[in-house]
Structure 1
Amino acid sequence: VITFGWAMAVAVAVYAVGNYSGAHINPAVTVGLWANSGEGAGDMWKYFVGQFAGAMIGAILVYLSYLPHWKPTDDAGAKLGVFSTGPAIRNYPMNLLTEIIGTFVLVFGVLAIGDHFTSGVVGNQEYADAVSLGITPLLVGFLVFSIGLSLGGPTGYAINPARDLGPRIIHQLLPIPGKGTSDWAYAWVPVVGPVIGGILGGLVFRGLYPIGG
């Protein structure tokens, strides 16, 4: 249920801002698109600011939504799980690899979906653009859904540095009763892994489908 909710939230976000910013939503997608095209490096910081701000504001709204539940809940891990991801089994190299794989699939898939509508596969480009606006967000949402179902078990599939680090910072700052630690020892994994996976996804897609090739 959570996986489907997250997937549809991604789809709605792409519908909402896709025409304005390309709806990266995710720093790993931003760096992946840069690795693929070599363009837009000067604008990356703007995306990062928006992505982290959105994740942190979202975390605050979730905190407020669950306000009556914090005190009666004794499990500090469950409270942290509302904000950030954690591994089923703590093994940093394997946790890192899992995040790399998941984010690689995400970025490669996003690029493949976009390429399908811009490479002439669909036919008439005007028609392809119209179809893309309607269906691409859903395809991206179901891509996230499939990643969650197939690769989410070991680490909770952050696949997004902003989605994990931003809310983790909010967890650290908010006065949540009995919240315990924010698990900063693990916090680097859902940041470094997705960045590496995003870059690899962009580079591999570029190697297989050269721009202008």
Structure 2
Amino acid sequence: MKKKIVLAALFVLPVVVYLFFASGVNNFGRLPILTEKVSDVSQMDPNVQFKGKITILGFLGNNVGAMQGNAFNLNQKIYKRFGEFSDFQMIMVVPQGNEEQVGELKDELGKLSNVDKWHFAFGTEDEIETLFASLKSNVDLDANLATPNVFIIDKDLSLRGRDDDEDEGVKYGFDTSSVAELNNKMVDDVKIILAEYRLALKKNNADRSK
């Protein structure tokens, strides 16, 4: 009798756990869309694009060296964790003329991890301001066209974030100067959007096989 109970528990428990988490992702695990139809970065720099990728978007500005610590935090806490996903990328927007500074940053990041999915988009001041304005966020660029905040852009060019954040209410971006915010909030939100797309892909594949 005890053996049967143990076997039943071993069989049932994993199923219950799976259903619990599957239900949670399906019903609660969708990252809210805060802004639709964000301008594609390809309009500014044809070497990169948002379409078809889950993008972490940042704005490094004219003083790339001053943003190096932010980039390192992002690399260690987000990129190293999710960089292996084929549909994940980082795009940092930088004003034209800062190519040398960006090269130095990439060299430094390369000492910490593979930087294949770190991309840098170069544009004019007007192009950068236009792209940033399309986010329709409550965050501002500074005089150097930089912000410590990064943003999650989905495959369909929508800005994702939180509409019920316990601290900010509506949360458009994540402060890369705060390791705690990256660990406690951004990691969770990137997990959610990746799971969302994977569930959709599995559903599409299942529907096709019927």
TMscore range, shorter length: under 0.3
Greater percentage in strand? 2
TM-score normalised to the size of structure 2?
0.28
Higher relative contact order (CA 8 A, sep 6+): 1
Q: Which has the larger radius of gyration?
A: 2
